[in-house]
Chains A and B, each alone.
Chain A
Amino acid sequence: MTRRGRAAAAAACLLAAAALAGCAPPLRPLGPLSQVLQQAGVNHAPSLSGRWLALISGRQGREQVLMIHLQSRRPVPLPGLNRPDAQPVSVSVDDAGEQLALVRQLDGRTELALYRRSTQSLQRLPIDPPGVPQQVALSADGRVLAVQVSRGGLWGVDLIELP
């Protein structure tokens, strides 16, 4: 085999190996936003929708729900949502940035709630039949909630249609 043939065969082998391994260039974080997120504290449980990122952010031993407007890279105020005695567990935001669904622990119980930003109101949503919510997902159009609920030691999913 000629030198050019060997080089072509080696290149073909490398390409085949990369394809089988599912090789792709590594993802690169969006730099300026990542800086904002690192400054916010230790973050987890992200929910991305439209121009909004909601997450749970911890600083100095206290966790709270944070909502960041992606274009301005700034957190927006959420009056009436975060409480020093509440521990957020899961959060989900809709595309308009109007509704935030939330699972939180408060007074020794775990509850599901819906926060509306335009009215700064927090509405508790009862789990029926009773159960313990763990994780919530809000559809981007803000019309449906899917909630992971524990009942009798079994995880299930409740679907709630919002008005």
Chain B
Amino acid sequence: MNSQGRGQTRPLRWAILVFAPPLAVWLSGCGPGLRRRPAPSTGLGPEARQEPALSGDGRLLASLVERDGRTTVLLQERLSGRVIPLRQLQRHQPHSSPSLSWNGRYLALLVQRGTRRLAVVEDRATGRLHPLPLPGDLEPQRLSLSSDGQRLALQLVQAGQRRVDLFDLSGLLEPDRAPGQRLGGSAPEGAGGAAGP
């Protein structure tokens, strides 16, 4: 290759060096800035963990683990792995479908009460456990607590038919809102995103 040919290939090399890494990231489907962390250890080595739920601010992680052969909810700080004790949820296993409010004040989940499943909310600020019984023969299968703790969505089964219903908890629980959030509003002030329908 002569000197002129080498001069022509130099810009090509620069282009490859500059554009190849972001192109590879884009092609891999990761997108820029995606970071992965393993879930914090439960302190008992590798063990099964299911049904994760995050607090609205992402600080806390709730998940289901096996404790003495019983499926039990475990609450941890996401980054440090520190286990946060749940005073009211040592019994009534198996637990399922945990869901956390914005700051993690409320942990809603399904517990076993006799032969039936029951939705409950533990208020970590007061230490109270709020049972949420359902009318008639409705059986809860899964739940989702709104980030402010004011509404609950329940997947129910009645006479073999599955459905989702919404329930108002505003008369039972104080709001657990994001810092700076407007009273009566849902999105933090100044929050971006597609807030409207």
Chain A, range 40-64, C-beta contacts under 8 Å to B? 42-51, 53, 55
Contact of B31 among A50, A94, A123 (CB under 8 A): A123
Chain B: residues with Cβ within 8 Å of the partner, total of 70
Contact of B38 among A23, A27, A69, A158 (CB under 8 A): A158
Q: Tell me whether B130 is interfacial, beta carbon within 8 Å.
A: yes
A to B contact number (C-beta, < 8 Å) = 205
Taking a contact as CB atoms under 8 Å apart, the answer to whether B155 and A156 are in contact is: no
Q: Tell me whether B187 is interfacial, beta carbon within 8 Å.
A: yes
A87 to B96, CA, bound (A): 23
Taking a contact as CB atoms under 8 Å apart, the answer to whether A44 and B162 are in contact is: yes
A49 to B146, CA, bound (A): 5
Taking a contact as CB atoms under 8 Å apart, the answer to whether B131 and A42 are in contact is: no
Q: Tell me whether A132 is interfacial, beta carbon within 8 Å.
A: no
A33 to B146, CA, bound (A): 15
Q: Given the interface contacts A135-B52, A144-B54, does A125 sit within 8 Å of B30 by beta carbon?
A: yes
Contact of B56 among A23, A46, A125, A139 (CB under 8 A): A139
Residues of the A chain whose Cβ atoms lie less than 8 Å from the Cβ of B174: none
0/1 interface trace, chain B 33-64, chain A, CB 8 Å (1 if under): 11111110000001011111111111001010
Chain A, range 1-58, C-beta contacts under 8 Å to B? 22-30, 33-34, 37-38, 42-51, 53, 55
Nearest chain A CB to B7's CB is how many angstroms away?
39
Q: Given the interface contacts A139-B56, A160-B35, does A74 sit within 8 Å of B165 by beta carbon?
A: no
